[in-house]
Each structure stands twice: as structure tokens, then as C-alpha cells.
Structure 1
Amino acid sequence: MLDDPTTAARPAADEKIRCDACPVMCYIKPGATGACDRYANDAGELVRVDPHVLLDRALAQGASVVPFNRGGDWDGKLLASPETFVTAIGAGTTYPDYKPAPFIVSAEVDGVDMVTVVTEGIFSYCGVKVKIDTDRFLGPEQATVRAAGEAVGHVTTSEYGSQMLSLGGVHHLTGGAKKEGRVTCEALLELCNGKAVELAIDGGSTVIVQAGKAPIVNGFQEERMRVGCGSATIGMFAKQWLGKADEVVVVDDHITGVLSEHQAGKLLDIPETGIKMKGRRSTPGRYFQVAEPGTGWGGTNITDPLSIIGPFDPKVAWPGLRLFFISTTGEHSAYYELDEALQPVAKALPADLLASTERVKENCEPALSTVLFMAGAGGSLRSGVTENPVRLTKSVKDALTYVTSGGAPVYVYPGGGITFMVDVTRLPENAFGYVPTPALVAPIEFTLKLSDYEALGGHMTEVRPVSSIPHGEATLSLAPRGDNPWPLAPNSAKRSHG
């Protein structure tokens, strides 16, 4: 229950109660939940529906869980409980914002008194960055991304072997129509909680995205991201093609590579072949814009590789010239030999070139969708940590305060404020919630030395040991992820701050 000193006497069990966990301020009937499905009226008492998540290293080590001390009053002493970390998942919020954080808990770690301030933040300024490892063209930059027909984000600049989407943000959540905000909030919540969401991109593809899973583009599940651009692929595999083909073309939407012209081919003394490429020549053996972007060969719109070449130069080419085409994922390949008229004739792929195709595939990493939650911690959230919020910001920037989200490491952006980003797959399941303003609710924890907390003007009267939190149905103990640093040892953790 969220204690509020201004709250009147407890209502009767058959009366509605007003929830003050977010700005919506729902009136909740007995036995019902609020609009967010996170708080309920239990016989006149406001209760949290989901359990409060605790990370317990003893579970990861296979040991039995030591129950929390439920008997007697706390004597005010700091108790050593370095094996348990209290996350913000299920902890509650600071709304209205004069309240201290719901949990400010202490523990002794290696002889040092530590404190963790735990809050479920209500984030209107939030969104997700989606990294989709695929060679497919999903849509032009700045194209609108839609969920259920509503604009929820846009395509941003692609990265090496990955297409990037920026979804959410305050303008989609609150700056448009009511339906746009609702659909945006639903899509963000599903993505952050590891659910699959179908997105349609204006002028591009339909893609089903799920954190930690391969994307499904236009109904087909992707298998791999590209090994590199066409030029890089030439450089990596030129020696393996030497003597097996006279000319190799690696088809790519970005840079298509041509072996005989490429510097790698020159160093291997591969003779000129008289090939004529379409597109814009960049540097030797590297061509831009050989075709339009698409879902065909190498992220282009072609299905026939011969469509990107012109006639061979008869002064240079020769009958029997072996021509090998391959895409940057190895998914597409074709082999030709020139006839007496120097026309390419399709042939079965020789075994040695088939082996090199498999080698290209082997060097491609699996296609994957990565969902990164990004949000800015506002001044109101920071006031739940200290009466002078700017000191918390400075403490984070000075690396005195270690920021986590559900116990997972975050990247804190340089510059003003506390803008952080976290991989949603590194949090416990269903770590995110929402409020119908609309906004997302996400866990955030600040861990620092107790002495530093006191120095920045923290709410010292609210500090209590982990052992004071009752263990039962209202809490859920989970083993921490093995690849996450232990939040209570931030000095030894690999930091993710910018």
C-alpha cells in the first residue's frame, strides 16, 4: 500500500477508493482493479496486484532461500544482506511527487553500507529503439511505422547489417489523437515485455518484431544478417574464391563488390574480365546503387543477378569465363559460364563454390530483433530520491550512483538529465506496465554508498534494511541473470555509463 500522510481514514470495504499511484486517479470498486491493471481495491485497501520482484543470488547458486525476518520491530541497525537486491518491479511509484521513493533499502556489501532507491517511474518521455538484424529493406528513412494503422514511430538510419526503428516518444504518446496515443502505448508495452508486435512501414514492408527473436518480414522469418557489405565480403573471401571462379560479384544494396576490380583481386593477380556493372562506380571494385532497395538479393529488389550487369567487353572477356554471383548473406547464389558469344549461361553450382557459399552463411550472425527501452527520468522522479534532485543527476554523472532497471545495467546518456537505455531482454519478465495517461511504467533503481546518499540530501528517515521487507505472496524472489553485473557491487561492475 502507498502511504500518503494526507489520505483520510480508510474507506469502508464496500466503497470505492481512489488510487493515487498515477495522474489518472482512478476510483476503484471493491474487488476491481484500476485502468492500469496494477492496483486494486482489496476490501477498502489499495494494493499492488503484481508481486514486488527481488533478485536473490542464492537462487542462482542453488541454495535455499533464507526467509525475511517477519517477527519483531526493526531496531534501526543496518543489516548485511548482500545476496538480495530489491528491484523496482512491483514497488510502486512516487506519484504524487512529494513522496519519497516507495523503497529506500540498505545493505552492507564488503564492509560498506550501501543504499538502493527503488521506484517505478511513470515515463511519458519514453520509447524503444528497435534493431532488426536483416539484409532486407524494411522501408525508407523517415518513413512512418504503424501499429494497427496508427503512426507509432519512424524508420531511422540503418546500421551495418541492421535496420533501425525509433518507436514511441512523447509526441506519439500524447501529441496526437487519443487512439494514436493508446495504440503507441500498447505497442511499446508489448515490445518491452517481450511480446510480438506487427508493424507496417509506409512504402516498405510489414515486420513482426519480438525481442530476442528473429524478425518476420512480409511473412517470412529471417535467418541471418549479412556478413558485411559486398566490398567487405570480397575482402574476406577473395582467397577462397581464387582459382574457383574468374569473376565474383557480391550483390549488396549498399556496396556491390566485383572481385577482379577490387584491391583484394589485384593483390591476388586476378585478371580483368571485361565485366560491365550497372550502378554508380565508387572506387575500384565497389559500386553504389546497382538496384533499388528491396527484399531480394542482398537487400535489393532484384531476383535475377544478370540484371545488374551489361554486355562483357569482347576485347577482354573470353568464352568459358566462370562467373559467380552471391549475396551478402549467402542466401542467394548463381553460377554462369560465358558461351562463344560471351553470353552468360546458367550452370550447376560447383561443389567448391557451394562450400564457399556455406562459409559465407556460417559467418553471418543469426537474424535478431533487439528492443531497447529508452526514457528520461524527470525531476519529479528524482525528487523521490532527494529533496535536491539536481544532486542525483550529478551523482550519476560522477559515477557515484549506479543506475539499473529491474536489476539490469543501463546506458546513461551524456549531457543533462538522466536519460537511460536498457535491453529489455535483460530484465525479469513483465517488468513494464502502463498508465492510461498514456505513459509507460518502468523500474529504475539508484544504488550508492549510504554516506554519499546522505551527502546528496537523500530521504534518510525512509532508509530501511532489506530484512524489513516481508517475504510472502506480495514478493517474488528470482535468480539474477548471470550476464548482468550484481547491482549491489557497482564499484566492481562493468559500467555502462556514457
Structure 2
Amino acid sequence: MSSYGNPTMTEHTKVDFGADGVDGETASTPGPTVLEKAAPRSERMASNKIECNACPVLCQISEGRTGACDRYANSDGRLIRVDPVVFVSRTLAVGDGAGEAAAVEFGASPATGGDAAVAAPAAAAQQDQALFVTGVGASSTYPDYKPAPFIVSSKLEGVDMVTVVTEGIFSYCSFKVKIDTDRFLGPEQSNVRCQGEIVGHVTTAEYGSQMLSLGGVHHLTGGSKKEGRVTCDMMLALGNKQAVELTIDGGASLVIRAGAAPIVDGVEEQRMRVGCGSATIGIFAKQWFGHVDEVVVVDDHITGVLTEHQAGRCLGMTRSGLKIRGRKSTPGRYFQVANPGTGWGGTDIQDPLAIIEGFDPAVARPGMRLLMVSTTGEHAQWYELDADLVPRIAEMPTDVLRTVERIGENCEPSLATVLFLGGAGGSLRAGATENPVLLTRAIKQRLVNVTCGGAPAYVWPGGGITVMVDVTRMPDRSFGTVPTPAIVAPIEFTMSYDVYRDLGGHLDAVRSLESVLANGPDHVEGAPLARRTLARHPDNPWPLGMPPMLG
């Protein structure tokens, strides 16, 4: 147990009772949100404690303290959710262009600093399409038999809409990390470690990116307690856009943060490859024509040789007589010219001539011009053959240097992309309907829009509701944990009222935005909701306006 008044206790924002601010931001209402989640008092529980049943841990919380998850607290015998509920505004501007504005009071008057949406809920209700209630800070449905914390009605172009809002407790979840780099990170299927514990593995490389799968139920629950705890902490940090240090067995050390350049073995990556060696030949062959006699684009996967490549042949270039190591695939395309590594083109070589076996004296001639370059343009060297057909370093001509610079220009910035992947299982669906399979079917029929913190979620085909979302498009501090261990993540289901009725939704729990703003989650008159309001991420469609819901 820990005091919710201690701001250094946890990553999550804490709202002290009656406080006016959250991390320097202005809370739209004072104090935390009161919830009716306290379980019936046990005879063996101290009188100054209440039991929280928001997750299976069932913490017994003393007055003025939080439970093990730091998300719920005991305030004068009432169980409260200490984080404010996050709203997304359609009308607020993103001031810094970074995708999420600082928390702003929706409708605040510069003269008074008040919140017009709370002071005049009727006016807010008239603008209900301009606010969207996310699951961030909303609380969960555990122990699952009750409706979701918020089932909010609104209107969209005259159509009655319903959004079911909750925080899901996800044991079956992971993060897929896309790392834009040609550097060798580690063998496929190698273990990825955090603080020495195995937390995931290296998966298949994609075009210009190395891929990791991190977390998952087996690491959360299938290993030691320490493995589960470290995995959960690592996943929480990744989801909340914080830097995480990882090591790969037989490979590199990494620092990964969503939306930032990855750091590989202490070096910040700059560029994603323009293409494989063969593709680079195809892109730039015409620009090299007339300025070079041969080009080798070094690549761990497919190294390209210009005069043998179909692009060079179509331009009428004659063979240079260059002999290259590796396994020939098709003309001008070679596999396995070197081992994977952090050198030229994602290989382990530092001297590009190491992959050249020599030149055929029947074809090559002194003075031939050779460019060797990597798929990012970060490595490049110009050679000219001497009388013995030995490549000698020479000054690179200006026209050729321009093509190398253009390779770099066409490389996208290296980024680490973090995708949350979670299965919204049976218990979470019970908060939306008494017959959960109908919600699943409606989603697959594109009658329901699924979002996570207002960000669009991709729903995987096949059974169940397996969602995937880019964490950079979600509000800050969207993720939490419970010590089972599991990840807590927001999820929202938006649909027309008719669809919600037909799938057996909890119609008696549907409330207007006006009621939510004025009375909070417990229908307590005059107890407005503690919330923070953020501008919509500029890349996100408005959650109430997605075509699948009406089309």
C-alpha cells in the first residue's frame, strides 16, 4: 500500500483530494472520481479499511492510501479512482503539433477560468459531438457482471449513437515493436531481455525494419514472479511512451521509445534503408549511367551489382568483370555476401572490398570506376582500378556524390513504432451486453467502431476481438497495471443506438453526456466528473464519425 498523496510513488498522475492541478495541468473538476466499487465488508477486515474489487487482487485499503495498482484509493471510506477520466475534444487545437495538446478545460472562459461544460451541462450536451469519453481513467467492469463504467449516448448527423467505455484488464496482450534499421539486432527467435529477464523475442525482419514481439501472457504469468513483474513494468513503460532498455541474446543492446529513433549499441539510428540492394540499383541506375562503370550496393539480404542487374542491362551497360562473394540469386542479385552485423548495409563488414573476390582480366580494364555504397547512403566509397586491376580509393566525382546524397535523402527517419496488441475477451464484453458474442459479431460486421483512448484500432480477422493500436496516437498515460500481473488499457465501442439495442446492450445504463458531465459515474447529483480534456490527435479520425458505424 502507498499514499496517493505521494507524487513520486508511481508513473500515474495522482489527484490529491481537492487539488486543482494534475502534473501542472488544470483539472476540470476538483478531486478524484468516486466509484461504487467497494466490496461488502469482511468481518475480518479492519474498520478503517475498504476492499477494492476492481481486479482479482482484492486489496484492503486503509484510509488515505492506494491499492497495489496505485489506481484506486480509500477516501473517507469511499473507493475512488484517483486518475481523471480523459476526454478528447474535436474542437481544441493541438498547440505543439506533437499529437497531443496539454490538458485544457473544454469551454473554459479566459475571464473566469471556469469550465463551461461543467457549469452549464446543458450547453455541453448541445455540443456532444465535440467531446468523446475515452476509457483512460474510466475504471473497469471487474468482477465483470456489471455494465461498463460509462455507456454514453450522443448524436451524429441526427442518428442516436452509443459509446461503451471501459478500461480492460489484459493478461493476453503484447507489444509489437518495429525498429527501422538495417543494423543486426539479433538472430530470429532470440530472446529479448529486460533487467536480465526474458520478456519477448526477435521475430521476422520486414523491409528495412527489425521486429520484436514483447510481453504476452506466457511471460506475464508463465514464468517466475520476477519475470512477470519485469515484463509488466516493461510493457507499462512502452505503452506510456517511455524509454525501455533491452538486450538481445547473441545480438545488440537497445533503447526503445515509441515515436523516437532507436539506439542500437549506444548509437542513435538516423535512417531507414531506401530499399534492398537490388531495389537501390533499380531506383538509381539511370542516375549512375554514364558516371560509373560499376556499382555495388551492399546489403545483408540482397546485394546489388549494377552491370549484371536487369536495370544495367536495359541501359546497355557492359559487364565489369567484378567477382563478388555470396550466393547468386538472379542476375545482379546476391544473397549472403557477409554475415549480419552493424556495418555496411547491415552486414558485419567495415571494408566493402572484403566482399569482392577480384576482377576478370578478360573483361576488366585499368581505370574502371567503381562505387560501393550501402542501402542508406551512410557508407560510400569510390574506387578506380590500377594497372593490376586492384581497386584504389579515389576522390568521388561530384555527380556521383549527389546520387549518394540522394539515397540518404530518400531514406525515411529511423523510428521505433510500438503497437499494443490485446485480446478483448469475454469478461470485458459483458460490460457491453449480456450476450457477448453479439458484440463480437457486430464488430466483425463493421457495425461497431473500436477505439483505444480515442485512437483507431485495427481488429484482427478471425475469432474474438483482437485489437492493435499505435500507442503514439493514444493519450499520454493511457496504460496502467494491476499486480496479477496484467496491463490495463482503454477501449471504447461506438455504434448506433439501434445496433446497441439489437445486440442486447445494457440500455438501462445508457446516459447522456450531460448526465456524465454533471453527475459523474455514480449518478450522484452535483458530483461532476474529474476529467482532463485533450485535443484530438491530428492523425486520428473522429471516433464518432467513422464510416463503418453508419454505412
Q: Where on the TM-score scale, by shorter chain, does this alignment land: which range?
A: over 0.9
Cα gap change, 1:177 to 1:298, in 2 (>3 Å): same
Where does residue 214 of structure 2 map in the other structure? 167
Q: Which of 26, 44, 48 lines up with 1:15 in the alignment?
A: 48
The number of equivalent residue pairs is 490
Q: Which residue number corresponds to residue 85 of structure 1?
A: 132
> In structure 1, what is the equivalent of residue 107 of structure 2?
64
8 Å contact from structure 2 (residues 448, 549) kept in 1: no
- RMSD of the TM alignment (CA)? 2.2
1:413 and 2:457 matched:
no
**Who is 1:430 aligned against?**
477
Distance 2:550 2:221 in 1: 36
User: Do structure 1's residue 46 and structure 2's residue 52 form an aligned pair?
Assistant: no
Task: Give the match's secondary structure for 1:392.
Answer: helix
17, 36, 39: which one aligns with 1:3: 36
Q: For 1:157, what is the secondary structure of its paired residue?
A: coil
Moved more, 144-153 or 55-64: 55-64
User: Contact 1:79–1:107 at 8 Å: present in 2 too?
Assistant: no
Say whether the 8 Å CA contact 2:191–2:198 is kept in structure 1.
yes
Determine whether 1:246 maps to 2:317.
no
AA partner of residue 91 (structure 2) = A
From the superposition, tell whether residues 91 and 155 of structure 1 become closer, same or farther in structure 2 (CA, over 3 Å): same
8 Å contact kept, 2:446–2:549: no
Q: Distance in 2 between matches of 1:294 and 1:481?
A: 37
Relative distance call for 1:383 and 1:473 in structure 2 (3 A) is closer
Q: Distance in 2 between matches of 1:493 and 1:409?
A: 13
Aligned residue among 128, 139, 145 for 1:98: 145
1:368 aligns to what? 415
Q: Within the alignment, does 1:316 sit opposite 2:349 as a pair?
A: no
CA deviation after TM superposition for structure 1 residue 242, in Å: 1.0
Aligned to 1:234: 281
Unaligned runs of 5+ in 2: 1-33, 96-105, 109-114, 519-527
Structure 1 residues 396-433: Cα deviation after superposition (integer angstroms, max 9, x where no partner)? 00111110000000000001100000000001101000
CA distance in 2, matches of 1:326, 1:7: 71
Q: TM-score, normalised by structure 1?
A: 0.95
Q: Distance in 2 between matches of 1:490 and 1:257?
A: 44
How many Å apart are 1:69 and its aligned residue? 5.1
C-alpha deviation, 1:44, in angstroms: 1.5
SS at match of 2:472: helix
User: Is the contact made by 2:494 and 2:549 (CA closer than 8 Å) also made in structure 1?
Assistant: no
Q: Counterparts of 2:550 and 2:231 in 1: how far apart (Å)?
A: 34
What residue in structure 2 maps to residue 151 of structure 1? 198
Separation in 1, partners of 2:37, 2:80: 13
* Residue 121, structure 1, aligned to residue 168, structure 2: yes
The one-letter code matched in structure 2 to 1:196 is: A
TM-score (normalised: structure 2)? 0.86
Query: Contact 1:12 / 1:43 at 8 angstroms: preserved in 2?
Result: no
Corresponding position of 2:62 = 29
Q: Is the 8 A contact 1:485 1:494 kept in 2?
A: no
Match of 1:346 among 384, 393, 404: 393
- Is 1:485 equivalent to 2:541 in the alignment? yes
Q: 1:272 aligns with which of 319, 329, 336?
A: 319
Equivalent pair of 1:338/1:345 in contact (CA under 8 Å): yes
Distance verdict in 2 for CA 1:152–1:317, change over 3 Å: same
How far apart are the structure 2 equivalents of 1:215 and 1:314? Answer: 45
Matched, 1:442 2:485: no
By how many angstroms is 1:99 displaced? 1.2
What's the % identity of the aligned pairs? 62
TM-superposed CA distance for 1:492, in Å, is: 7.0
User: For residues 67-97 of structure 1, what are the alpha-carbon distances to aligned partners after superposition, in whole Å with 9 as ceiling and x for unaligned?
Assistant: 335689x9xxx97611111101000000011
Corresponding letter in the other structure for 2:535 = A
1:12-58: CA deviation from partner (whole Å, max 9, x where unpaired):
99712111111111111211111111111112111111110011223
